[in-house]
Chain A
Amino acid sequence: MLQRIYDWIDDRVDVTPLWRDVADHEVPEHVNPGHHFSAFVYCFGGLTFFTVVIQILSGMFLTMYYVPDIVNAHASVEYLQSDVAYGMIVRGMHHWGASVVIVMVFLHTLRVFFTGSYKKPREINWVVGVLLFFIILGLGFTGYLLPWDMKAYFATQVGLEIAETVPVIGELLYTLLAGGEFIGAQTLTRFFAIHVFFLPGALLALVAVHFIMIRRQGISGPL
């Protein structure tokens, strides 16, 4: 029955090549830790993606309780943390996941760099990867403010003061991020929008480009 449903769809939209392309590619020996244990360094990219998926899923659940305004933000996080079933685990995953993503991206970058994998023809993918790294740092920065506790507020103040020192565009940059002269209600909603919509959108688009290029170009050969 399932086979017939599949065939019916496949007859019309030709989906088989889509997944066969992913399924049939071969994993070469030199990146397979099953053959050479040292090849575990090739896992960092995959683990980064895995943690990013954790971040997206846990973040989706966090927004079910989180309220992005300065009166309720802290209370909603506290409620989520202390009263909601498994809220502590979900927030814990999102909190620690942020650090794990950074560590994994760092290791992945070092692996790609030290195996010289960014060289022709993979230059563009390296650039996309570094942009992804910046986006992840941006997600870390904007997400830090959202619980609206002391550390969040004052770390963001320091961050925005650093942005303000940039010559020429510094003050514009500050106003753009803070949404005004002071860090307050506008800043929190802005950071929420950036953290939940703008950056994840950019992240997903670039991750797609990153993966399509890997499928196109293959993993770099053994050293």
Chain B
Amino acid sequence: MRRGKGMKYVTDSRIPAREHRMQNIPKDYSEYPGKTEAFFPNYLLKEWLVGAVFLIGFLCLTVAHPAPLEREADPNDTGYVPLPDWFFLFLYQLLKYEYAAGDYVVLGTVVLPGLAFGALLLAPWLDKGPERRLSQRPIATAMMTLGVISTIYLTWESVEQHDWEADAEQAAMDDEDIREVDQSHEGYEIYQEQGCISCHGDNLEGNPGVQGPDLYDLAYDVEGVAEISVNGIGEMPGDMFDGTEEELQILSEYIVAGGGANEDEDVNGDDEEETEEDEENDEEDA
């Protein structure tokens, strides 16, 4: 045993010293002309300096942009438009194209990514030649460049097509815009039955995911609301309402009153409760 300080171990089963092993170790770097440097401590010290600069930059980022946190998950809010983390966007975007979705979805979820990542994994056997320079292995270079460009393109397109304003709105942590409406009211029943609820929300708060605005403090009177309910307005289609005239009247009055939650009108007399909530919200804001 020639390693270390030359001590002998009882029943020495350690791997024999280098001289007796098969030589699969590449040439020493001193075989390459140039200035090599010892890893420890010379090079490590420089690495630490670079690492420290990197760490400072990284910490500045975390201080300047705190990690986002949206409101708690609500599985019932089906209008929410999902967005994966940015490094999965390329895959997400791929599935939006006609021939990678619907009947062809396997093409988008398994075949194309499988081919791309499979080729990446098996690159050493797909590109077996001894040449290492880019120009000497045009096919490998072209394939990789294509892969990188398509990944970047898909990510870019996904970011471009996403509605970031709606995203920020639906993500908002505070729900101060949601007021408690009177859900035992007859009008709320009609509101549910006629399907208004799917776009304007459980509490008339609206649903940014499907561009449904909130229905608080509307600028319309009862007749105006009744007309919009029947004929639609803007993004809202007509013929949504198919109840009786009487129901339409009750619904319109209910909505104009903001479901009993309007700030300037007090239809159902639960103004007190409302004020308390507003105060709570104000505290949270502070």
A residues sitting closer than 8 Å to B (CB atoms) are 10-11, 14, 16-17, 22-30, 32, 34-35, 43, 46-47, 50-51, 54, 70, 74-75, 77-78, 81, 88-89, 91-100, 102, 109-110, 113-123, 126-127, 130-131, 134, 137, 140-141, 144, 147-155, 157-159, 162, 165-167, 182-184, 216-218, 220-223
Contacts and interface: CB of A to CB of B under 8 A. Distances in A.
Nearest to B57: A100
Given A54-B58, A153-B75, 20 more contacts: A25-B38, A29-B34, A29-B35, A29-B36, A29-B37, A32-B35, A34-B46, A51-B58, A97-B58, A123-B125, A126-B124, A140-B88, A149-B69, A150-B71, A150-B72, A155-B83, A158-B82, A158-B92, A162-B91, A221-B26
Contact of B124 (A50, A118, A153): A118
Interface residues on B, range: 35 or more
A27 B128 CA distance: 27
A216 B106 CA distance: 41
A148 B73 CA distance: 6
Contact of A115 (B35, B54, B58, B132): B132
Contacts of A118: 123-124
Contacts, number: 225
A182 B76 CA distance: 12
Please name the 4 residue pairs, one residue from A and one from B, whose CB atoms are nearest each other, closest first: A116-B132, A92-B62, A29-B34, A154-B82
Nearest to B14: A14
A221 B32 CA distance: 8
Given A22-B40, A96-B65, A155 B82 contact: yes
Contacts of A113: 123, 140, 144
A27 B132 contact: no
B69 A147 contact: yes
A140 B82 CA distance: 16
Contacts of B164: none
Interface string B73-101: 11101001111111110011001000000
Given A74-B72, A81-B67, A93-B62, A14 B5 contact: yes
Interface in B88-128: 88, 91-92, 95, 105-106, 109-110, 117, 120-121, 123-125, 127-128
Nearest to B151: A106
Contacts of B128: 119
A211 B185 CA distance: 69
A161 B7 CA distance: 61
Contact of B110 (A35, A78, A115, A166): A166
Interface of B: 3-5, 7, 24-26, 28-30, 32, 34-43, 46-47, 50-51, 54-55, 58-59, 61-63, 65-75, 77, 80-88, 91-92, 95, 105-106, 109-110, 117, 120-121, 123-125, 127-134, 137, 140-141, 144, 148, 170-171
Contacts of B72: 74-75, 148-150
